[in-house]
Chain A
């Protein structure tokens, strides 16, 4: 029966059909629209063809768009670095036994299942001027004024803190799963050879953890390049352009200014950058997997 491929294709066809309809068709459609000048709110609301590179040439000199990409990348790198270091420390600490460990770990899992938009709401309620306790506490005890609605730097770092609150548990638990699965033999031989804890960590734990680390980096990078919901809820991309990440920028250009053509070109470039970054990491992941087999 398993040589009869008709049945196999039959089983696969609904999946392929749906993914073509909601995945592949939109992709080609956005590629197509990207070649046109199209603004339904303009004097001439029809699609006009002005050469294949028209929108892309405009984008190369679009400072706001390029800056939003740079902002997204900066944000991803900053959060990734902080979450990885913090998560690794926490994962290591979870290997030892201490009182209430199960409870602590359970609470630590909590943010993972909360929707990004709800995380945004939680942080809005917690930090907004005039309601949240955080600005008050900072003012009373440290004399620090927190008003991310006015201060661009504070807004950016507020988003970073929110992302750390939301996703460090993911890093911790993933690394913990990886650490618990490590073989014990190398540790025992290192002990016999008289290596100290730091040497063991640098020369044994980290090299053995590289595959898991790459998976974590891959997934976190993918997600933080996409970030929209939390930011939309907390700052709406402001103040000014301070937290306007690429996803938010595209949304605003397309649905507020109705720049359909230009927005499509942005989408394609954004997609391209994400795919390149993912592809690099994916090939690293696969090549490492192969070299170990």
Chain B
């Protein structure tokens, strides 16, 4: 950056460089310290956690594996983990397919009111979920009834529900990408007698592949991380990992080690994901309004 290099004095530049590195080292410690402590807690017995906090990396020598095995092998947390995986994966797949179709329609066809439809989908993302807890709870448990089947406490219910915030986001992200594919290519394929399915398979999906991958990964992450709706709309059979975490708060005499272990395990997909799409995360979180 030009304005930053204005000073010709070398020592001052060196000093600035040193200062910046120092500042960022402190920030990195602040970021990592709480996470490091969580790892320590997850590897210790309740007795070892008693008293003055010991910050040395004891997990290098001894890990109390029971913190992990108890909730995931003996307890219900393996079910929660399974539910989380099913819900987040299915939701990401559903959202990606639907958003691709919808975005193509909004981008290529001249539909009456398509601007308003686009804006309306976006408002779904902005609304605070807490405002919809009661109506969703009532609708899911009593109104949306098909014989004995209600959406309450089912994975299907959660998968559909997460579309509220994931679909608008996916449409927004994909719109920029599909708008960028020249119309003439589609029209040429139509002249050659291709139908919509062929256009998707041969043109849109190959050209938009990176964008589609980012969209589905981010949708997966949002669905994986969601807590409030899942905790209200499930009770036994469809509970996800985040709702399981909150259960530690209400139980008396919290087993901190187990709680830390569950939190740590639930972070794993997020960490893998961080390596996969680090570059696109800004574009994803700002709805693509700022290219990251």
Residues of A within 8 A of B (CB): 1-3, 5, 7-9, 11-12, 14-16, 18-19, 21-23, 25-27, 29-30, 33, 90, 93, 95-101, 103-104, 106-118, 121-126, 131-133, 136, 165, 170, 173-174, 176-178, 181, 184, 187-188, 190-191, 196-197, 200-201, 212, 215-216, 219, 222, 225-226, 228-229, 232-233, 236, 246-248, 250-251, 254-255, 260, 263-264, 267-268, 270-271, 274-275, 278
Residues of A within 8 A of B267 (CB): 114-115, 118
- Bound CA span A174–B280, Å: 11
Whether the Cβ atoms of B274 and A15 lie closer than 8 Å is no
- Bound CA span A219–B290, Å: 12
Contact of B259 with A by CB under 8 A: yes
Stretch at the interface among B63-71, B72-80, B104-112, B205-213: B104-112
Whether the Cβ atoms of B246 and A111 lie closer than 8 Å is no
Whether the Cβ atoms of B134 and A177 lie closer than 8 Å is no
Residues of A within 8 A of B227 (CB): 115-117, 228-229
Residues of B within 8 A of A21 (CB): 144, 160
- Bound CA span A288–B104, Å: 28
Contact of B138 with A by CB under 8 A: yes
Whether the Cβ atoms of A177 and B242 lie closer than 8 Å is no
Q: Which residue of B lies closest to A112 (CB)?
A: B281
- Bound CA span A2–B187, Å: 9
Set B4, B32, B34, B111: member contacting A8, Cβ < 8 A: B111
Residues of B within 8 A of A97 (CB): 17
Whether the Cβ atoms of B124 and A229 lie closer than 8 Å is no
Whether the Cβ atoms of B132 and A267 lie closer than 8 Å is yes
Whether the Cβ atoms of A122 and B34 lie closer than 8 Å is yes
| Dominant SS among interface residues on chain B | helix
Interface centre among B23, B53, B274 (most CB of A within 10 A): B53
Whether the Cβ atoms of A26 and B225 lie closer than 8 Å is no
Contact of B182 with A by CB under 8 A: no
Interface centre among B112, B161, B242 (most CB of A within 10 A): B242
Residues of B within 8 A of A178 (CB): 290
Residues of B within 8 A of A (CB): 1-4, 6, 16-17, 20-21, 23-25, 27-28, 30-35, 37-38, 41, 49, 52-53, 55, 98-99, 101-102, 104-106, 108-112, 117, 120-121, 123-124, 126-139, 143-144, 160-161, 163-164, 167, 171, 186-187, 190, 196, 221, 224-228, 232, 242, 245-246, 248-249, 256, 259-260, 263, 266-267, 270-271, 273-274, 278, 281-283, 285-287, 289-292
Whether the Cβ atoms of A165 and B30 lie closer than 8 Å is yes
Set B24, B132, B260: member contacting A93, Cβ < 8 A: B24
Set B25, B135, B143, B224: member contacting A264, Cβ < 8 A: B135
Assuming the contacts A16-B117, A125-B260, A165-B30, asked whether A23 and B164 have C-beta atoms less than 8 A apart, the reply is yes
Residues of A within 8 A of B171 (CB): 15
Residues of A within 8 A of B286 (CB): 174, 215-216, 219
Whether the Cβ atoms of B41 and A118 lie closer than 8 Å is no
Whether the Cβ atoms of A117 and B27 lie closer than 8 Å is no
Whether the Cβ atoms of B242 and A117 lie closer than 8 Å is yes
A232 to chain B, nearest CB (A): 7
- Bound CA span A260–B131, Å: 12
Whether the Cβ atoms of A174 and B133 lie closer than 8 Å is no
- Bound CA span A117–B3, Å: 41
Residues of A within 8 A of B129 (CB): 226, 228, 247
Residues of B within 8 A of A196 (CB): 6
Interface centre among B34, B52, B292 (most CB of A within 10 A): B34
A-B contact pairs, 6 of them (CB 8 A): A2-B190, A21-B160, A30-B132, A109-B274, A133-B37, A254-B134
- Bound CA span A12–B99, Å: 9
Beyond A8-B110, A104-B24, A109-B278: 13 further Cβ-contacts under 8 Å? A2-B187, A11-B105, A15-B171, A19-B164, A29-B139, A108-B27, A113-B221, A117-B246, A121-B259, A125-B41, A125-B260, A176-B282, A247-B128
